[in-house]
Amino acid sequence: MSLIEEGLTRSLHSSDLRWHATRTRDVDYITALGMAGMHDKLASKLYRLVTTMARSAYFDVLPDVMHKAAGVARRRGWKVADGEVPGIARQALDHLVRPACPSCHGRGFAELAGTGRLSGVVCGCCRGTGKRPVKDGRVRDLLAEIENFASVIEAGVARRLFARG
């Protein structure tokens, strides 16, 4: 976990949002997060979803992901049947919520049967990536454009908190 990630995770659960003149405190992270989010609403909503896992956050971002999917569909010339784009958007969003491979739980190696411990054998389901495989190329296209949301937000926070000069 990076310093920024740690600070954000702590701040989002903080019960002390007092400000300090010279030290960077939780309130500064929250402020920077809000400002970073204004410049990229989709990234901001996705960040809120994965950090809170709140049902409301899922339904808040879903229309934005559908809108994004419609744009990607046009640009990449997807072959889609009528009304298929929302389903693709939902699959991509579900992947962001549960990205870990269901077989190895993100660890990349197969488990020794019945022990829960890892073997030295690469997971056959994800081929060692630890990520849930995405079969539909259109879902992969969409993911490629939205899955960097956390680094977008964290870079925005870092710029605002630690930029000097």
Binding stretches for Zn ion (CB under 5 A): 101, 103-104, 123, 125-126
Q: How far apart are CA 86 and CA 104, in angstroms?
A: 29
Q: What Rg do the C-alpha atoms of the chain give, in angstroms?
A: 19
- Nearest C-alpha neighbor of 35 from the set 120, 118, 151, 156: 156
C-beta closer to Zn ion: residue 63 or 133: 133
The total number of residues written for the chain in this structure: 165
Q: Within 13 Å, how many C-alpha atoms sit on residue 71's CB side?
A: 10
- Tokens 């976990």, located at residue: 1
C-beta closer to Zn ion: residue 131 or 160: 131
DSSP structure class, residue 15: S
C-beta closer to Zn ion: residue 43 or 123: 123
Phi, psi (rounded to 5 degrees) for 96: -65, -30
